[in-house]
């Protein structure tokens, strides 16, 4: 895999892309944000960490400027931009018959949408514990450590699996091949489907939310719906373990001082990924005749807030 593209090079895409580039691979960032692309090409990508600021020289292009094909494409747009990105890459010949297309986006159902455009056997799914933030066009803020777990979406292992694992680990991204990536994706999606909308609707940090003595009465019904819906799709989730994971995020020493990303998107006037979290649970629930009133309501409340805040 000699030619790598990051399609969607915002905060996370820039983090992953810069790490792989610094490990000596050929990497191109592809993004629709013109000011960001221009800044990276003019000044390099400026990376600020807790201790250091440095520049990574890495080529950046708009999707409409793609003229070559890639062996490995990592999709890190926001979920709602991903299909148009893949379609554009496909139309421009960026995807050949052996290209591995991997996404680390949060949310559910990405493989089902992607396989309408590219063969299922070329799609890889990942969950990541790395985080990243944007400071401005061409500038990212990187804190903490993380990991990546990934698997081909149809569960098969092929020559690309080990090649991807090597690229990620050469880049220090702490990756491993999963034998049940859906379990991890659904677990993370459960955390996100609870804390993202609740903290956004309440305009609270995770710590402020967790300080209320009746949080369990709010959280448990949401988890129960997700567990029931997951069951209909062959994913077995442990409601008690998920509740513990959510509660482990409350203290100030863990994630308590943060607002979840949905809060940041909403109050900065951007659409959220709610349709790929609670909204996707509701959709799967409708398909399986499982009622999901809590997830339905959270989706509606976030859409109401989007009407108010998205410019
Ligand atoms: P992001 O908002 O930084 O970038 C997503 C897209 O929005 C990019 O194409 C970017 O160029 C564009 N964009 C961002 N700011 C813009 C601006 N001011 N003007 C115009 N365009 C702008 O998103 P992200 O945080 O990198 O997330 C990408 C995916 O990764 C999402 O599915 C997210 O849920 C997931 N994810 C993010 C993190 C994180 O810590 N950021 C962690 C894990 C997973």
Q: pLDDT per residue over 103-143, tens digit each?
A: 999 999 999 999 999 999 999 999 999 999 999 999 999 99
Dihedral class, residue 276 (left if φ above 0, else alpha if ψ from -120 to 50, else beta): alpha
Looking at residue 311, its pLDDT comes to: 87
Neighbours of 266 (CB within 10 A): 25
The pairing of strands 175-177 and 123-128 is unpaired
Q: pLDDT per residue over 67-80, tens digit each?
A: 999 999 999 999 99
- CA–CA–CA angle 40, 19, 248 (5° rounding): 115
Give bridge partners of residue 110 from the DSSP assignment.
none
Whole-model pTM: value is 0.97
- CA-nearest of 104, 7, 15, 12 to 56 is 15
CA dihedral 156, 160, 161, 166 (to 10 degrees): 170
> What is the mean predicted confidence (pLDDT) over 151-155?
97
- CA-nearest of 210, 299, 203 to 246 is 210
Residue 1 confidence (pLDDT) above 80: no
Q: pLDDT per residue over 155-199, tens digit each?
A: 999 999 999 999 999 999 999 999 999 999 999 999 999 999 999
33 lines ligand 1 (CB under 6 A): yes
Catalytic residues: 188
Looking at residue 30, its pLDDT comes to: 98
15 pLDDT band, cuts 50/70/90, is very high
Q: Please provide the average confidence, as pLDDT, over all residues in the chain.
A: 97
106 lines ligand 1 (CB under 6 A): yes
Q: pLDDT per residue over 220-259, tens digit each?
A: 999 999 999 999 999 999 999 999 999 999 999 999 999 9
Ligand 1 atom closest to Cα of residue 8: 9
7, 11, 270: residue to mutate for ligand 1 pocket, most atoms within 8 A of CB: 11
Q: Is the dihedral of CA 107, 111, 115, 116 positive or negative?
A: negative
264 lines ligand 1 (CB under 6 A): no
């Amino acid at each position: 895999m000699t030619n790598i593209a990051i399609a969607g090079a915002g905060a996370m895409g820039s983090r992953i892309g810069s790490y792989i580039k610094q490990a000596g691979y050929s990497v191109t960032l592809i993004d629709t944000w013109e000011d960001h692309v221009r800044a990276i090409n003019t000044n390099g990508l400026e990376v600020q960490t807790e201790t250091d600021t440095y520049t990574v020289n890495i080529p950046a292009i708009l999707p409409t400027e793609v003229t070559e094909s890639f062996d490995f494409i990592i999709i890190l747009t926001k979920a709602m931009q991903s299909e148009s990105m893949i379609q554009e890459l496909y139309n421009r010949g960026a995807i050949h018959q052996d290209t591995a297309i991997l996404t680390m986006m949060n949310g559910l159902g990405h493989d089902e949408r992607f396989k309408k455009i590219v063969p299922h056997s070329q799609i890889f799914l990942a969950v990541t514990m790395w985080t990243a933030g944007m400071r401005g066009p061409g500038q990212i803020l990187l804190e903490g450590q993380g990991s990546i777990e990934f698997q081909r979406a149809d569960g098969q292992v092929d020559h690309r699996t080990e090649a991807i694992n090597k690229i990620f680990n050469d880049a220090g991204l702490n990756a491993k091949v999963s034998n049940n990536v859906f379990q991890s994706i659904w677990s993370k999606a459960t955390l996100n489907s609870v804390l993202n909308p609740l903290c956004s609707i309440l305009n609270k940090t995770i710590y402020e939310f967790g300080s209320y003595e009746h949080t369990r009465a709010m959280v448990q019904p949401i988890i129960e719906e997700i567990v029931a819906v997951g069951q209909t799709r062959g994913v077995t989730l442990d409601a008690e373990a998920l509740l513990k994971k959510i509660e482990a995020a409350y203290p100030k020493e863990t994630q308590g001082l943060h607002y979840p990303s949905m809060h940041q998107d909403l109050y900065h006037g951007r659409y959220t990924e709610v349709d790929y979290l609670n909204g996707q649970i509701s959709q799967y629930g409708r398909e399986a005749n499982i009622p999901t009133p809590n997830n339905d309501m959270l989706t509606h409340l976030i859409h109401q807030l989007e009407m108010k805040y998205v410019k």
